[in-house]
Amino acid sequence: MREVEFSYGCLSPALEEQAKKQGFTLSKAEGLERSREAITWLMFEDVLTDSQKSKAFQRLHKQVVKNLKLIKSNSELVKEG
């Protein structure tokens, strides 16, 4: 699988939008987005320590990568048909 990058900051685009820009779609996008927002909220409310925040975003990233699905281009669909 090729390398993908995601930004999880509060001003970053939605995870699905970031995935689409890289040629992927994201299954469970809504739930993953809610998780990202929850981690950010807990961070701003000083509920999470810096190390907990880092660990939470690492675990979220693993889930995001696990739920990536490659978008087939129109040319690939024609070749398969």
Partner residues linked to 68 by β-bridges:
26
For residue 50, the model assigns a pLDDT of: 96
Which residue in 11, 3, 6, 2 sits closest to 58, CA to CA?
6
pLDDT surpassing 70 at residue 1:
no
Q: Can you tell me the mean pLDDT for 4-12?
A: 95
Q: What does pTM read for this prediction? A: 0.83
| Cα 45 to Cα 68: distance, rounded to the nearest angstrom | 30
Confidence of residue 2 (pLDDT cuts 50, 70, 90): confident
Domain ranges of the chain: 15-73
Give 26's contacts (C-beta < 8 A, 6+ positions apart). Answer: 15, 16, 19, 32, 64, 67, 68, 69
Tens digits of per-residue pLDDT, 45-78? 999 999 999 999 999 999 999 999 999 875 443 3
Give 71's contacts (C-beta < 8 A, 6+ positions apart). Answer: 20, 23, 24, 25
